[in-house]
Amino acid sequence: MEQELKKAFRLIKYQQKSDFPEDIWQAIVLRDKRNARIKLWVFSATGLFSLIGLAPASKMLFNDFTQSGFYDYFSLLFSSNGSLITFWKDFLLLLAESLPVVSILLLLILIFVFFLSLKYAVKQIIKYTRLSDENNQLSLSF
């Protein structure tokens, strides 16, 4: 069996292709470009969905503000004759309790996700163009 394997290996005589490193580099660059493109689409879709979600979240925040009576309590700050100075701690607690915290948090999270996905999408665009430029320069140099 060993003799047959030795014969087979002698007949094959492995010959390395001359452009083998270039093929490997091209495969790496293509994989990186594909990954950058996929990440770009994911970040763009995430940003778009969070941007679309901002409209209903803003409307919900506005409705919650009007239903909670925050504006009415806040207007007491400007209309009272100074009686709020004696009860300022209770007034601040009243304002804090009337804030629609869940709606504010939802809106802030959507804004944060939008800007974060925008940041990463721009990074992927820069990476994709850099990979394309490097690929073009390397293909010209070989």
- Domain annotation covers residue 54: yes
- Domain annotation covers residue 106: yes
pTM: 0.71
- Domain annotation covers residue 111: yes
- Number of folded domains in the chain? 1
Return d(Cα 128, Cα 94) in angstroms, integer: 52
User: How is residue 137 annotated by DSSP?
Assistant: H
pLDDT of residue 80: 67
- Dump pLDDT digits (tens) for 12-48: 665 556 676 777 788 888 898 899 899 999 999 999 9
- Domain annotation covers residue 46: yes
More confident call, 25 vs 62: 62
With a cut of 90, say whether residue 108 has pLDDT above it: yes
- Domain annotation covers residue 124: yes
- Domain annotation covers residue 32: no
pLDDT confidence bin for 11, thresholds 50/70/90: low
pLDDT, average across residues 61-89: 83
- Domain annotation covers residue 34: no
* Domain span at 90: 39-141
More confident call, 50 vs 136: 50
Cα–Cα nearest to 121, from 37, 40, 33, 35: 40
With a cut of 60, say whether residue 140 has pLDDT above it: no
- Domain annotation covers residue 30: no
**How large is the angle between the packed helices 70-79 and 20-68, nearest 10 degrees?**
60
With a cut of 90, say whether residue 10 has pLDDT above it: no
Cα torsion angle, 16, 21, 26, 28, sign: positive
Residues in the chain: 142
Question: What 3 state SS string does 66-90 have?
Answer: HHHCHHHHHHHHHHCCCCCCCCHHH
